[in-house]
Amino acid sequence: MINFIVCEDIKELSNKYKQEIDKFMMKYDIDYKCHMYTDYGKEWQSIAKKEMGFKIYLLDIVTKNGSGLDAARLIREEYDDWSSMIIIITSYPEYKYEALGKRLMLVDFISKVDNCEKKLQDAFLICMKNYDKKYKSLKYTYKNTVYNLEFRNIISIEKEQDSKRCLIKTIHGNYYIPGSLNQVLKKLDKRFFKCHRSMAVNINQIERYNQKKNTIYFKNETKSTLVARNKKKELMDRVRSLN
């Protein structure tokens, strides 16, 4: 789910931004929702604090109640949210250097009167690239059920013995997928590491790896010793390189 959080106190402009969002998202088979606000009051602050997946903010710099720059600072510094995308849209281009100087990791600073629609579409494309990197999903069908598992929530994939399926362990539960381990890995990305002929792990879900005990400790407090001898050093290097 992608959440577009728009703050604009002019209704005509707010409607235009909604149309641009709908136009952009028509190209993607991804659920999304628009949350529309006219100021940065309690309702806006409540949703900004809320954990609800990927967020893209469209913030007006000047509203009757609050500043978009103050709102962006709140998102980054107070709510410690450095993953959400923030786009500033304004009629006051003179604020641009102040906005950049605050180091708020803005996607773009867009003028309402200078090719706004085109620049919004370009900014959305940048946001989508970040979404694809962090929120990619494994989509498949098994026994008449369609699954859509986000990569980031997958902990490990294990080949089931004497079977033509694998067990996917996620932070939400376990699921089966047809095919060999290598076939499943072809559908995933570089964050997944095959540490054993029977198992692959999501490096980002590892809390620590004890090479002496040859034990992987995952963030959900589970562990595994399925690490092949010739994979120990590479796994150690991969875990060490995590930010």
pLDDT in single tens digits along all 243 residues of the chain: 899 999 998 999 999 999 999 999 998 878 899 999 999 999 999 999 988 888 999 999 888 888 888 999 999 999 999 889 999 998 767 667 666 666 788 888 888 888 889 999 999 999 998 887 777 889 999 999 999 898 989 999 999 998 999 999 999 999 999 999 999 999 998 899 999 999 999 999 999 999 999 999 999 999 999 999 999 999 999 999 875
Please give the structure tokens belonging to residue 139: 């989509």
Identical fold for domains 2-135 and 137-240, yes or no, is no
Domain 137-240 has CATH 2.40.160.50: no
Q: Element (H or E) spanning 228, and its range?
A: none
Please give the structure tokens belonging to residue 234: 């590479």
pLDDT of residue 185: 96
66 beta partners: 63
133 beta partners: none
Domain 2-135 has CATH 3.40.50.1580: no
* Pairwise CA distance, residues 212 & 112, whole Å: 59
Contact by Cβ (8 Å): 87, 56: yes
Ordered by start, the domain boundaries in the chain are 2-135, 137-240
